[in-house]
């Protein structure tokens, strides 16, 4: 693999003699010309830097600045988002992005000003400043505070081998600045001091700090002096990020080709940055609610009798489960879209029987299509020239599971339409979801495709250097679109191993082939938090580890973390011992059942959190630093997070631990979910955590909806909704969302969004409810369990009328009442 080029290589790369540092910050334009041309005492280098600004012109919300040779476009995208593009010879590439489907955001007000030293492009929120003399770009907030600024002018060097340019941006790094995001990097949450790259890679049994992995998400969040901003480098080539590793004063990001195009995304809160990034790249569609249940997978469950035995065990043992997976062994010779009739003689009958027992069937599909003229998928792809070709016009071939294979060009819209249509027969036999694997793309013995493979790239043709990081994203896009069309109004469920920024519009993901170790349990927690901050919220890990053998304790602790993974799936390799919730004895089976049941009890809360993400752009998992960014210590708190904004999750990540230290963020009290003990926020606490428990806390004032325990999500219709309400002496808002659970009717307002407001004092508690949407659930009543009342209630008023039921106030200060579902206000009075 080619050594990553350093952004500050000031010397000719073939020269191994003394390195001479040259900072263009201290040079005028004439000096920069000398750096780029050989003179006595200074060695020649290949990089070219922007010079002094000579001209500017405006085109609507775009401003083009030039130094006479190169040009920079500053585009106002919204009040808080500004895009920067560099064209080394003033020729911009055509406007196209797989990550950002549309830039038609509303820009309320923007203006252009000039003084002696700078040009300024400003919105109501932020200003982009361009230094006239050295072309340095900086961003300033309304308080005139510089938030982000260039250390060097943007620069580039020609790529003699492939054409185009290596493009570089170097920013100042402030002494206390911290960095977060960049997808699923298996490293510390705070990225300062790290050097990372994006190049989708098949990384079996990856290690801590290994880089790169399966996904490329070139977006990060900076936090400095309690002000957050984001940078999204929308470039699909191999990209690199140096978070002050080489030089503690510099942040650098660069790409091995393409255009230097980045978005500055203003905060000042980290939550604002993530929401605005999601406004660019999109949010995850609402998944079918069954996809939020427990999933069981293995490489592989076969033959049919094994799958049926697995299903029978779940139901017999009363362990909830919604989905079973079939890995590559269900296929005929690993040929996609076929069935091995020896193992599965009647797949439609089998899937129907599983469905009748409440199980959805999810099957794997890989991109490699076996070269076989008697195989209908290969024959169609060959006849229509849908497979990737190399620069000499030969088909790209490589060996994967079926043997010799060719690979569809998923960057061609015609190929995507064809591929999506191939799922028709699978859907007709009852398959409910599709798992896209090996789509980095992975090739045995080669790693991936050669650089010279050509891609359509939706008409903006390019080599594999350009298309590599989006190949998996476009594969799962084709899968999603095909399933959506075939399944009519049903929401598709897809999962992908590889992806690029924006892949959340089409798919969930998992963190890949992890290891059964305590270290990987911690890594998985970090990866899920990081993915959620990076716009990919529907993510999970292989519970128990894909390779290796977990102890029963490790598997159980992983199940506990899995309850609060947006995607909850156990998965393991074929050369490991069987790994189901009952595989480690009765005691651990009972604990695993308890926690999987907890997942199902909390499904209405989990589903509502997905709605908040889809509609409002909130991340689903939120590291503590996102909740309380003004506390410097939180930059290094990695082992707890909230699911949504109401439930704080503190997984046990150490072998043999029976307690752990927990930090409860400030701004109010927190309730222990299990005991309802009230603990003060803003402080640390030591919490008991025997193996049958995990510290979980609920924010005071929260309204948490709960289902009765089901064996699968549609086992029966809820007759009465349960809400746990936690007392607060501050006003706190909660959301509850409900709809059909598996259709797109919510896009036509066929949903119900309820907003609860809880507010109390020493003598009363008030709960109000407002409703939006056209969906009407069939149940008519709520059971409300009001926890933590600091007084014994004497009266309850529901919409002004005295509650006629008994007021039973138990020893843990909880009051249970039944109400009509559409009440407007409840008052509990001392």
Run of H or E residues at 533: helix 518-533
Q: Measured between alpha carbons, how far is 71 from 88 in angstroms, rounded to an integer?
A: 6
Among 324, 333, 334, residue whose Cα is nearest residue 304: 324
Q: Measured between alpha carbons, how far is 815 from 807 in angstroms, rounded to an integer?
A: 7
Catalytic residues: 437, 440, 513
Distances in whole angstroms, Cα of residue 323 to Cα of each of 297, 632, 665: 8, 42, 36
Distances in whole angstroms, Cα of residue 557 to Cα of each of 242, 608, 655: 34, 25, 9
User: HSE-up of 617 (CA within 13 Å, CB side)?
Assistant: 15
Q: How many CB atoms lie within 10 A of CB 636?
A: 12
Residue 291 DSSP symbol: G
Q: How many CB atoms lie within 10 A of CB 704?
A: 25
253: Cβ contacts below 8 Å, ≥ 6 apart: 7, 168, 169, 218, 231, 233, 239, 240, 241, 242, 262
161: Cβ contacts below 8 Å, ≥ 6 apart: none
Joined together, the tokens standing for residue 538 give: 């529907």
Give yes or no for a contact between 358 and 715, defined as CB atoms under 8 angstroms apart.
yes
Among 187, 215, 219, residue whose Cα is nearest residue 201: 215
Q: What is the CA radius of gyration of the chain?
A: 28
Distances in whole angstroms, Cα of residue 137 to Cα of each of 74, 118, 497, 630, 804: 10, 10, 37, 27, 67
Distances in whole angstroms, Cα of residue 592 to Cα of each of 278, 570, 580, 649: 35, 12, 10, 17
Residue 269 DSSP symbol: S
Which runs of consecutive H residues, i.e. helices, occur in 317-462?
347-356, 376-383, 413-421, 424-428
Q: Measured between alpha carbons, how far is 265 from 262 in angstroms, rounded to an integer?
A: 10
Taken as a whole, the chain contains a residue count of 830
Q: Measured between alpha carbons, how far is 817 from 88 in angstroms, rounded to an integer?
A: 69
Q: Measured between alpha carbons, how far is 244 from 251 in angstroms, rounded to an integer?
A: 5
Q: Measured between alpha carbons, how far is 179 from 182 in angstroms, rounded to an integer?
A: 9
Q: DSSP string of 44-61? A: --S-EE-----EEEEETT
Distances in whole angstroms, Cα of residue 132 to Cα of each of 30, 47, 353, 529: 15, 21, 71, 41
Q: Measured between alpha carbons, how far is 231 from 748 in angstroms, rounded to an integer?
A: 34
Question: 667 in the Ramachandran plot: left (φ > 0), alpha (ψ -120 to 50) or beta?
Answer: left
φ/ψ of 465, rounded to 5, equals -55, -35
Among 56, 223, 212, residue whose Cα is nearest residue 131: 56
């Amino acid at each position: 693999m080619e050594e990553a080029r350093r952004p500050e290589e000031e010397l000719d790369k073939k020269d191994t003699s003394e390195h001479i540092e040259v900072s263009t910050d201290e040079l005028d334009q004439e000096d920069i010309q000398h750096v780029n041309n050989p003179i006595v005492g200074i060695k020649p280098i290949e990089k070219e830097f922007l010079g002094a600004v000579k001209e500017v012109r405006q085109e609507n919300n775009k401003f083009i600045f030039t130094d006479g040779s190169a040009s920079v476009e500053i585009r106002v995208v919204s009040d808080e988002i500004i895009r920067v593009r560099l064209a080394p010879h003033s020729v911009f590439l055509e406007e196209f992005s797989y990550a950002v489907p549309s830039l038609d955001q509303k820009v309320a007000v923007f203006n252009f000003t000039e003084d002696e030293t700078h040009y300024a492009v400003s919105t109501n929120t932020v200003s982009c400043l361009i230094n006239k003399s050295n072309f340095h770009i900086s961003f300033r907030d309304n308080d005139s505070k510089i938030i982000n600024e260039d250390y060097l002018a943007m620069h580039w060097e020609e790529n003699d081998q492939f054409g185009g340019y290596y493009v570089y941006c170097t920013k100042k790094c402030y002494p206390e600045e911290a960095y977060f995001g960049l997808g699923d990097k298996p490293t510390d949450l705070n990225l300062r001091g790290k050097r990372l790259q994006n190049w989708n890679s098949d990384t079996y049994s990856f290690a801590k700090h290994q880089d790169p992995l399966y996904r490329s998400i070139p977006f990060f969040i900076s936090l400095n002096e309690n002000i957050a901003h984001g940078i999204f480098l929308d470039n699909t080539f191999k990209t690199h990020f140096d978070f002050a590793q080489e030089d503690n004063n510099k942040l650098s990001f660069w790409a091995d080709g393409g255009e230097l195009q980045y978005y500055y995304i203003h905060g000042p809160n980290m939550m604002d940055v993530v929401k605005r990034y999601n406004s660019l790249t999109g949010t995850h569609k609402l998944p079918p609610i069954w996809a939020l249940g427990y999933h069981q997978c293995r490489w592989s469950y076969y033959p049919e009798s094994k799958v049926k035995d697995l299903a029978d065990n779940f139901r017999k043992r009363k362990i909830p489960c919604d989905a079973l997976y079939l890995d590559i062994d269900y296929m005929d010779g690993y040929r996609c879209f076929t069935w091995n009739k020896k193992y599965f003689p009647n797949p439609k009958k089998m899937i129907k029987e599983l469905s009748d027992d409440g199980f959805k069937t999810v099957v794997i599909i890989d991109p490699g299509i076996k070269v076989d003229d008697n195989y209908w998928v290969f024959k169609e792809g060959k006849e229509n020239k849908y497979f990737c070709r190399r620069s000499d016009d030969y088909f790209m071939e490589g060996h994967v599971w079926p043997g010799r294979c060719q690979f569809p060009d998923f960057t061609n819209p015609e190929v995507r339409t064809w591929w999506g249509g191939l799922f028709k027969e699978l859907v007709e036999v009852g398959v409910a979801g599709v798992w896209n694997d090996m789509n980095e793309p992975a090739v045995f013995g080669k790693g991936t495709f050669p650089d010279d493979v050509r891609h359509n790239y939706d008409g903006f043709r390019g080599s594999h250097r350009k298309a590599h990081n989006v190949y998996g994203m476009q594969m799962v896009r084709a899968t999603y679109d095909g399933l959506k069309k075939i399944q009519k109004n049903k929401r598709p469920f897809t999962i992908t191993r590889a992806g690029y920024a924006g892949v959340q519009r089409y798919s969930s993901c998992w963190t890949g082939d992890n290891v059964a170790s305590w270290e990987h349990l911690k890594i998985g927690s970090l990866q899920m938090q990081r993915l959620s901050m990076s716009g990919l919220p529907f993510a999970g890990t292989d519970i128990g580890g894909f390779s290796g053998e977990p102890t029963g304790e490790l598997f159980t602790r992983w199940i506990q973390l899995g309850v609060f993974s947006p995607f909850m799936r156990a998965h393991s390799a074929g050369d490991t011992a069987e790994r189901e919730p009952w595989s480690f004895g009765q005691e651990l089976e009972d604990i695993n059942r308890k926690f999987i049941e907890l997942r199902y009890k909390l499904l209405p809360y989990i589903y509502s959190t997905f709605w908040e993400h889809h509609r409002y752009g909130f991340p689903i998992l939120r590291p503590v630093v996102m909740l309380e960014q003004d506390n410097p210590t939180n930059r290094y708190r990695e082992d707890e997070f909230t699911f949504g904004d109401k439930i704080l999750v503190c997984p046990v990540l150490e072998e043999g631990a029976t307690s752990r230290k927990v930090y409860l963020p400030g701004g109010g009290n927190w309730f222990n979910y299990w005991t309802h003990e009230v603990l003060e926020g803003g402080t640390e606490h030591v919490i008991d955590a025997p193996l049958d428990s995990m510290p979980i806390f609920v924010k005071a004032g929260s309204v948490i909806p709960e289902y009765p325990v089901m064996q699968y999500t549609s086992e029966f219709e809820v007759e009465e909704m349960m809400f746990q309400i936690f007392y607060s002496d501050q006003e706190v808002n909660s959301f509850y969302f409900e709809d059909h659970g598996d259709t797109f009717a919510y896009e036509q307002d066929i949903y119900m969004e309820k907003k609860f407001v809880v507010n109390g004092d020493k003598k009363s508690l008030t709960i109000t409810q407002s409703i939006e949407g056209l969906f009407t659930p069939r149940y008519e009543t709520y059971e409300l369990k009001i926890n933590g009342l600091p007084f014994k209630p004497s009266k309850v008023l529901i919409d002004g009328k005295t509650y006629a039921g008994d007021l039973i106030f138990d020893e843990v200060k909880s009051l249970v009442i039944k109400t009509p579902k559409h009440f407007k206000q409840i008052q509990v009075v001392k």
